[in-house]
């Protein structure tokens, strides 16, 4: 029974906890055993908070027994990407620079999760300072994909992805600047939701590039992502980009009804150069959603070809600005991060501002496109998880392009626009690696994105498959 609890989504656990049919202590105990067994193999966690998590589980059990049930996250174990500040617990950012740093406060989202009764079980592996999509980390070793430990889990929230996929956490927090929630979500076969820019506070989340950074949930199901978002969303004065606007109940948005919703298929760019198995799985998903009553039309996301250069100018500049105090310690960074910071130092103010102005045009194009459709449906990534030994700094994949550009090519456009974007598993390669379907929407229309993803999961079972670990 206890190990079974590890495989359950939060929504199911919540029912068992609320009705005292199961206890958070049993779950956390079993999960810590799984972590002890699997983490040496997967390297999903940089820090496991075993004692604190067990104490919190006992407290949750006691509170629930006393009738003080806090809601669906009460007693649910959460893995935090190791760039969420945790009061009294080291927060490395996957770096050597911050290897011994212990913050004195929690990120706003961490406070919110704790207030909702969630249990922080550990700090998850990440690409150094979130500056890459592979989680091959020079300081902490690579994290591994639970579906095939010789492959990357994707990044930069790869530890979070691996932990949820391998049932070493029920839910997790990731962050997404160019795809860092959705890439590991897709490669690990779980749900990952990048909320609309401004919906979830980034206060206390180490920045990569603040105008592109998003904080969000990584979960076994879309329903769990909605439950997480209910706890996470809302205005925070401490995040300058936080939106001061009403927040809906995201669980209520999962009506199961998608009939009449209009989906756009941006064939150009988003369907170019796909691995054939990815293409086939996404085609099947589109057919299934059509069967549920959604209409599909081909659309063109104009100027999407400028996204890569735009995001790089912005993120290199902003990252280098953030890292200015450490730039005399360049040798303490891994080679890929170091080279980005060195590039960032060469950017001029006009380079940066030109990129932000191009970005504005891209946002206008996107807003105009989304007047005609409710969501876009695309693959999340063109390829399944690459092997760790293929992910050197610059590696020819799919015609010589850098693997990191390939991994983020379809996710980055929604960082530039700040639009909500969700990945859900939609199939597997013959080699047993997950394939992700991306659903993107209008700004602050996270509800419809989650509704489509949930309807898809209600009609399919891909998200129920467990990795062979």
DSSP calls for 37-77: HHHHHH--EEEE-HHHHHHHHHHHHHHHHTT----TTTT-E
Q: Tell me whether residue 175 is one of the annotated catalytic residues.
A: no
Token representation of residue 457: 């999961």
Provide the minimum distance between the beta carbon of 368 and a copy of itself in the complex, in angstroms, as a whole number: 11
Report how far apart, in Å, the C-alpha atoms of 390 and of each of 54, 168, 255, 364, 387 are.
39, 26, 42, 37, 5
Q: How far apart are CA 123 and CA 358, in angstroms?
A: 36
Min. distance of Cβ 156 from a copy of itself in angstroms? 21
Nearer to a copy of itself, 209 or 411 (CB): 209
Measured in residues, the chain has a length of 469
Q: Is 180 in the active site? A: yes
* Min CB(249)–a copy of itself separation in Å: 23
**Residue whose CB is less far from a copy of itself, 55 or 353:** 353
Interface with a copy of itself (CB under 8 A): 240, 313, 316-318, 320-321, 324, 344-345, 347-354, 357, 360
| Omega prior to 272 cis, within 30 of 0 | no
Which one is catalytic: 95, 160, 167, 180?
Answer: 180
Q: Pick the catalytic residue: 23, 81, 112, 175?
A: 81
- Alpha carbon dihedral 20, 21, 26, 27, in 10-degree steps, equals -100
The strand ranges marked E within 113-272 are 119-124, 136-137, 141-142, 171-176, 191-194, 214-219, 262-265
CB 78 → a copy of itself: shortest distance, Å?
Answer: 29
Distance CA 109, CA 218 (A): 14
Q: Choose between 235 and 352: whose C-beta lies nearer to a copy of itself.
A: 352
Active site residue 156: yes
Nearer to a copy of itself, 305 or 351 (CB): 351
- Please tell me which residue in 156, 167, 242, 313 is annotated as part of the active site: 156
In the complex, minimum distance from the CB of residue 347 to a copy of itself, in angstroms, rounded to a whole number:
4
- Do residues 174 and 218 lie in contact, with contact meaning Cβ atoms separated by under 8 Å? yes
Cβ proximity to a copy of itself, 20 vs 353, nearer residue: 353
* DSSP class of 112: H
Catalytic residues: 81, 156, 180
């Amino acid at each position: 029974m206890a190990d079974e609890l590890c495989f359950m989504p939060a929504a199911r656990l919540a029912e068992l906890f609320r009705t005292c049919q199961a206890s958070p202590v049993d779950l956390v105990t079993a999960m810590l055993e799984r972590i002890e067994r699997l983490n040496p193999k997967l390297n999903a966690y940089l820090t496991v908070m075993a004692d604190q998590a067990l104490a919190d589980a006992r407290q949750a059990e006691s509170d629930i027994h006393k009738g003080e049930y806090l809601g669906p996250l009460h007693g649910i174990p959460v893995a935090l990407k190791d760039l969420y500040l945790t009061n009294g617990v080291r927060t490395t950012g996957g770096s050597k620079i911050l290897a011994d740093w212990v913050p004195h406060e929690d990120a706003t989202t961490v406070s919110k999760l704790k207030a909702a009764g969630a249990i922080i079980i550990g700090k998850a592996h990440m690409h150094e300072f979130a500056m890459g999509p592979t989680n091959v980390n020079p300081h902490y070793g690579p994290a591994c994909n639970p579906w095939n430990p010789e492959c990357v889990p994707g990044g930069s929230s790869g530890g979070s992805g691996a932990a949820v996929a391998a049932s070493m956490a029920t839910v997790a927090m990731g962050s997404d600047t160019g795809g860092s929630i959705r890439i590991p979500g897709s490669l690990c076969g779980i749900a990952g939701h990048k909320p609309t820019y401004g919906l979830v506070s980034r206060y206390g989340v180490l920045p990569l590039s603040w105008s592109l950074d998003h904080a969000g949930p990584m979960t076994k199901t879309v329903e769990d992502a909605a439950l997480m978002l209910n706890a996470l969303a809302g205005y925070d004065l401490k995040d300058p980009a936080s939106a001061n606007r009403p927040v809906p109940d995201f669980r209520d948005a999962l009506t199961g009804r998608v009939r009449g919703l209009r989906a756009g298929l941006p064939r150009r760019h988003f369907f170019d150069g796909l691995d054939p198995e990815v293409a086939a799985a996404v085609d099947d998903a589109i057919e299934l959603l059509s069967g549920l009553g959604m209409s599909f039309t081909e659309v063109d996301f104009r100027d999407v070809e400028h996204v890569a250069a735009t995001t790089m100018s912005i993120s290199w500049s902003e990252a280098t600005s953030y890292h200015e105090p450490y730039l005399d310690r360049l040798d303490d960074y891994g080679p890929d991060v170091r080279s980005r910071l060195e590039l960032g130092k060469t950017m001029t103010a006009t380079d940066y501002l030109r990129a932000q102005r191009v970005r504005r045009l891209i946002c206008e194009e996107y807003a105009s496109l989304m007047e005609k459709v409710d969501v876009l449906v695309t693959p999340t990534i063109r390829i399944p998880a690459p092997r760790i030994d293929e992910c050197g700094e610059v590696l020819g994949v799919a015609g010589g392009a850098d693997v990191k550009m390939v991994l983020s090519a379809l996710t980055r456009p929604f960082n530039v626009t700040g639009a909500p974007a969700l990945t859900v598993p939609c199939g597997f390669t013959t080699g047993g690696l997950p394939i992700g379907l991306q659903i993107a929407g209008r700004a602050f229309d996270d509800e419809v994105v989650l509704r489509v993803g949930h309807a898809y999961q209600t009609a399919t079972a891909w998200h129920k498959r467990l990795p062979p670990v």
